[in-house]
Every structure is written in structure tokens, then in C-alpha cells.
Amino acid sequence: MDTHGWVDVDNLLKGCRRAGKSLDREALERIVRENNKQRYIFNEDHSKIRANQGHSLPVDVELRPAKPPAVLYHGTATRFLDSIRSQGITRQSRQFVHLSSDPETAKHVGSRHGSAVVLQIDAAAMEHDGILFYFSQNGVWLCKQVPTAYIVNL
């Protein structure tokens, strides 16, 4: 993996075969094309692949700061609310906090972790206060953290 998270597709496929995993270029192309979250992207000539919005490893996926909508949403499980009340929304093992532009998507994300709750984020105030936002190629809003003061309905 290079510093921007790109991996050579041929090397990835060879590594999969060495690990006993059956994955060919056609299947990989289908995964990238049909994944409903659009997690991965190819470079222009499809010789390299990477995650769209970052990795758990420290890589620079070349995101540019972007102006967020006034309100964003974060879906989580109710069991995490005590931690969020004390620490805000943190990245955990990811490079960024993931935020949605609509509450339905946030609810879907939160439901993967248990009983879902959707938190409304005052993104306009965060940006006004100097917190940077990024918009990934697959439509996810990203930031380094969401302090508790910006969570409207906590």
C-alpha cells in the first residue's frame, strides 16, 4: 500500500490466491461497481484500488476540505451514548468520524451496532469554529471529531 492507500490490483489478486482466497479481476470489478456503500475505488486505468474514505491505517486518501450542509447526522447504538456524552463522537480506530447528510442513512448505520439512535450535528457551527470537514467520493461526510457541544439532540 502506498502513502495514499493505493494497492496494485495484480499484487492484491496474487496475495489473495496465495492466501487460498478465490478472487479474480472480474469479481473485484463487480465488488467495486456493485457495493451499495461504494467503499472502494479504482484509479483511472483500474491498475490500483483503495478505500474511498480512508483506512484504519494512517494513509492520505487525498481528501480536500469541503463546506458541509448546516446539519449532518451520526447513527450509533444507544449503548454508546454515555461515552458520546462524555467524549463527543470520536474516530475510534478509524481516521475520521463518519457523518451522513440524511437521517435515514444514519439510522441504517446505527442499526448495525444495536438499537439505533440518530444524533443531529450542528455542522455549520463546527465549520464556523474551524473544524474541517471532508466529503468522500462515496458521499460520506468526514471530520476528525464531533465535540459534545455540537450534538443538538444528545
List the domains of the chain with CATH numbers: 7-51 (no CATH), 71-150 (3.20.170.30)
CA–CA distance, 133 with 142 (Å, rounded to integer) = 6
Q: Is the pLDDT confidence value at 54 over 70?
A: no
Q: Is the pLDDT confidence value at 4 over 90?
A: no
Pairwise pLDDT comparison (144 vs 3), residue with the higher score: 144
pLDDT tens by residue, 75-112? 999 999 999 999 999 998 888 999 999 999 999 999 98
Confidence at 44, pLDDT banded by 50, 70, 90: very high
The H or E element spanning position 125 is: helix 123-128
CA–CA distance, 51 with 38 (Å, rounded to integer) = 9
CA–CA distance, 113 with 58 (Å, rounded to integer) = 24
Pairwise pLDDT comparison (124 vs 59), residue with the higher score: 124
Residue 95's pLDDT is 85
